Structure 1
Amino acid sequence: MIGATGALVVAGAAGAVGAGALISGHDLGLGGLLGGSGGGPSDGGGEGDPTTPPPPDPAGDLRALVAELPDQAAHVPEAATLDLNGVLQRDIVVPLAPGARGLNEAVDICINKLLREALYAGDPAALSVAGRVVAAGPGILGVLLDVTDGAGSSTALVWYRAEGDRALASPALIEYAQWHAFTQLVAQAGAEAGLDADPLAEQLQQQPRPWGNGPSLLPAADGSLHVLFPAASVGGTRQEALLTLPAASAEPLWSEVGLAVAQVVASPADFDPAAVSVPGGDEVKGSKYWDLPDVVTEAQPARESDGAGPVTQLAPLSGPGVRPSTAVAPDAGRLDAVALTFDDGPAPDLNETLREALLSAKHAATFFMIGQSVADWPDLVTQTSADGYEIGSHSWSHPQLTRLGAEKLAGQLSRPAEKIAEATGRKPYVMRPPYGARNTETDRACGVEGESVHIWDVDTLDWQTKNRQKNIDAVVSGTRRGSIILMHEIHQASVDAVPEILDWFTERGITTLTCAELGQNQMFAGKHYMAGLVDAETEERTPKVEPDPSDGGGESGDTAGDTSGGAEDGEG
């Protein structure tokens, strides 16, 4: 029979969990997929019979679906566009939703990941990302990233819930307890569509792009659910594939977020920025309000790539019928993950060497840069951003922010953000105060700039020792799961230590994430963090003791005349 969308509906196998029927979304080609008048069943008239449906084309149908999706940006007040063609010379154009910081940062996380993976593939200029708003309602947004690189095309979807200012990946649309039923439905639909069963089953245990080869999930206006695979196997050949579950089968699967998304796709409405809320309100210690993942396994090394899709930061498979991570980031709930950070750059004589070491070992990092240095060497900042590394602010001139009055504090935060935006096309979402000196006043001032505050739990003291081996020893002895590691870009001994540190990470199965990735979409503006979301396998996962303030180097920062100010609260 023909379903509401015009696609062929195949009766579900007896006993299939929650399945009354399955749609094979490509059985009628483009006409059936988009709701047009598809051809009927063949009457046996042979190849020339105009009523004979075309052969399945799962990749073509997915491309057609993506091309025809309406852009809902008109429902986003003061919607903006981020275009990185000019600054980074990368064909990346994505939407921004003012007020929805969590969504914008998540899209930024995706961009950095895609830039790094294109660099690893050796063809960064081949990367193209076209984003659009595909869902909008008072408290829900959805952004689709249509990606082309040297390996072909794929899609990534970022969903956003205004309550909690939280970005979520596609698995969040399915209730955790219903993922097993979902996989059974998809397996049956895949069999009907001719997809190879074993690769399909494995991909359902992976995160979606750009983190793995799992499917992106897109509700349709009629309540059905599109399942978009970036690298399905069809007769042993990798290609995109589209499967669609009918509304009757999808309805029992929705999580609370999934149901809300499905409703706004069916009935688009204006997004309400006033609906955005941040956990903890004005409280500045962000880790007090973390929502921990459903599953936190023993720390594990990244999975080896099979050559399709991303090659780094691949989380171990979730297990048959177990929902993958809902984070728009590599799954820190399964990986042994840390953040490696470098302060005080860009250093004109060391930045390129440091980036080459990171590239050679395929590790991520976050660079906290001083505004004055950004203004002096913008080309280095541009290249660091184009390589996919996270750029954060480290103030304008490296004063102790807690000693500044409100006006000077605001300038120390706004000026570097503006210069970083000029050099990278993007304002920073992360900030590190010089010397780690912060208090409630400085945190909230960072929040005005839309920045979360990142301290550390591993201080190499590289600015003090200026000794390559001592830098290595400090990382080896202090690093644990979830650590934020402090180093400096401006010291030769620090940069010299990096290759061996990266080798040690690789040997130990430690995955490096950016600071934003380590936070798993829960590092909010105006709040400070000492470590990542997951730092242990036990219930107690937050640092017991905050570190003493570090001098942090600061050779380029002169605090004279900037001592007018704010009271310290005794933290960091």
Structure 2
Amino acid sequence: MQKDQLFTRRRVLLAGAAAAGSAGTAGIILADSGEGTVKAAAPAPAPGPQARQALKPSAFRLQPLTGYGPPRTKPRKLKVRKEPLMQISDSRRQMMLTFDDGPNPDYTPHILDTLAKYRVRAMFFTCGECVVDNKELLARMADEGHVVGNHTWTHPLLTTLDRGEIRSEMERTSDVIEDAYGERPQWFRAPYGAWNKAAFQLGAKMGMEPMAWTVDTTDWETPGTGTIIDRVESGAAPGVVVLSHDAGGDRSQTVRAIKEWLPYLLDSGYRLTVPRRRT
């Protein structure tokens, strides 16, 4: 794919993939079709047996809308947080799906296919070294309204790096994401969930909010498709942010599992949302 063609595709960003500024209220983002408060809180408790019973099939599916606009050239400086955001508003049964470590040509397209089938958007925290050879996958994420975040260049343990090394990992990744996706990322996730003061400070300076998760599928352990499905379904609750992976190893179990747990969540009445872009 020629670079100009890639640039044209990534301009087709969906309006629902855009986040709201914090205008005086820290931790507030606008989710699709409504506001969602991101909280730095302990993981939400798993619902009881009755809560896990599937409800009537939900008619709600995210409807993509297209929009055009120039890429951001100067990031907004944000408040420096002391801990990452871990969940969204627990109102209206909203949840958020996130995928780390990609993109990977063997697994990411299948996950995108499943998300497209159910008209669901998600967040992808990508590694710069993976983006370089798979820019067309980020262009597709832009076309389909997914939000792309920064997961560093080489997925290092940030707590072992000095400030300059952390800055390089983050800046290089934001640069390549902007080139492939069409705008710089506004969200950052530390590899292994290992945050430190420098990461929070640098992320804020680069206009990125730190996001963690509340439910870990532990698919990185390849525990079996059934186990991954059970962890998502048993952990489902309003406000939950689900962590999965689309790279970093054999993710075939993840690809199979999402085909089962995604329709379950939707039929149980959950709204799967993404943050909107800050303007």
State the TM-score, normalizing by the size of structure 2: 0.72
Report the equivalent of 2:244.
487
Report the equivalent of 1:384.
141
Distance change >3 Å, CA 110–CA 166, structure 1 → 2: farther
Q: Alpha-carbon deviations, 1:178-215, whole Å to 9, x = none?
A: xxxxxxxxxxxxxxxxxxxxxxxxxxxxx9xx739xxx
Q: Alpha-carbon deviations, 1:208-233, whole Å to 9, x = none?
A: xx739xxxxxxxxxxxxxxxxxxxxx
> Is the CA contact (8 Å cut-off) linking 2:178 and 2:185 kept in structure 1?
yes
Report the equivalent of 1:358.
115
Q: Does 1:503 align with 2:273?
A: no
Structure 1 CA distance, aligned partners of 2:9 and 2:182? 10
Structure 2 CA distance, aligned partners of 1:406 and 1:301? 51
Q: Does 1:312 align with 2:62?
A: yes
Report the equivalent of 2:105.
348
Letter in 1 for 2:138: V
Secondary structure of 1:502's counterpart equals helix
Alignment of structure 1 residues 70-85 onto 2, 5 Å: none
The alpha carbon displacement at 1:88 in A equals 4.2
Q: Does 1:370 align with 2:97?
A: no
Report the equivalent of 1:211.
33
Match of 2:7 among 54, 67, 87: 87
Secondary structure of 1:486's counterpart equals strand
Q: Alpha-carbon deviations, 1:67-110, whole Å to 9, x = none?
A: xxxxxxxxxxxxxxxxx997143666xxxxxxxxxxxxxxx873
Report the equivalent of 1:418.
175
> Is the CA contact (8 Å cut-off) linking 2:186 and 2:207 kept in structure 1?
yes
The alpha carbon displacement at 1:431 in A equals 1.0
> Is the CA contact (8 Å cut-off) linking 1:343 and 1:489 kept in structure 2?
yes
Distance change >3 Å, CA 481–CA 302, structure 1 → 2: farther
Secondary structure of 1:481's counterpart equals coil
State the TM-score, normalizing by the size of structure 1: 0.37
Secondary structure of 2:33's counterpart equals coil
Structure 2 CA distance, aligned partners of 1:462 and 1:160? 33
Which ranges of 4 or more aligned residues in structure 1 deviate by more than 6 Å? 158-161, 165-169, 300-303
Secondary structure of 1:421's counterpart equals helix
The alpha carbon displacement at 1:508 in A equals 1.0
Secondary structure of 1:472's counterpart equals helix
Structure 2 CA distance, aligned partners of 1:366 and 1:372? 18
Letter in 1 for 2:62: T
The alpha carbon displacement at 1:438 in A equals 0.4
Q: Alpha-carbon deviations, 1:115-135, whole Å to 9, x = none?
A: xxxxxxxxxxxxxxxxxxxxx
Report the equivalent of 1:118.
none
Structure 2 CA distance, aligned partners of 1:494 and 1:168? 28
The alpha carbon displacement at 1:160 in A equals 6.8
Q: Alpha-carbon deviations, 1:486-510, whole Å to 9, x = none?
A: 1100211111111101111022111
> Is the CA contact (8 Å cut-off) linking 1:344 and 1:370 kept in structure 2?
yes
- Identity value in percent: 27
> Is the CA contact (8 Å cut-off) linking 1:346 and 1:369 kept in structure 2?
yes
Report the equivalent of 1:112.
17
Letter in 1 for 2:100: D
Structure 2 CA distance, aligned partners of 1:161 and 1:487? 27
The alpha carbon displacement at 1:338 in A equals 0.9
Q: Alpha-carbon deviations, 1:17-72, whole Å to 9, x = none?
A: xxxxxxxxxxxxxxxxxxxxxxxxxxxxxxxxxxxxxxxxxxxxxxxxxxxxxxxx
Letter in 2 for 1:458: V
Distance change >3 Å, CA 469–CA 162, structure 1 → 2: closer
Alignment length (residue pairs): 232
Distance change >3 Å, CA 85–CA 339, structure 1 → 2: same
- Decide which structure has the larger Cα Rg and report it: 1
Alignment of structure 1 residues 271-286 onto 2, 5 Å: none
The alpha carbon displacement at 1:465 in A equals 2.8
User: Unaligned 5+ residue runs, structure 1?
Assistant: 1-83, 93-107, 114-157, 170-206, 213-284, 289-299, 306-310, 314-330, 522-572
Structure 2 CA distance, aligned partners of 1:434 and 1:167? 24
Letter in 2 for 1:312: L
Q: Alpha-carbon deviations, 1:416-438, whole Å to 9, x = none?
A: 00000000110001111110000
> Is the CA contact (8 Å cut-off) linking 2:57 and 2:268 kept in structure 1?
no
Secondary structure of 1:87's counterpart equals helix
Larger RCO: Structure 1 or Structure 2 (Cα < 8 Å, ≥ 6 residues apart)? 2
Structure 2 CA distance, aligned partners of 1:111 and 1:335? 17
Secondary structure of 2:92's counterpart equals coil
Secondary structure of 1:391's counterpart equals strand
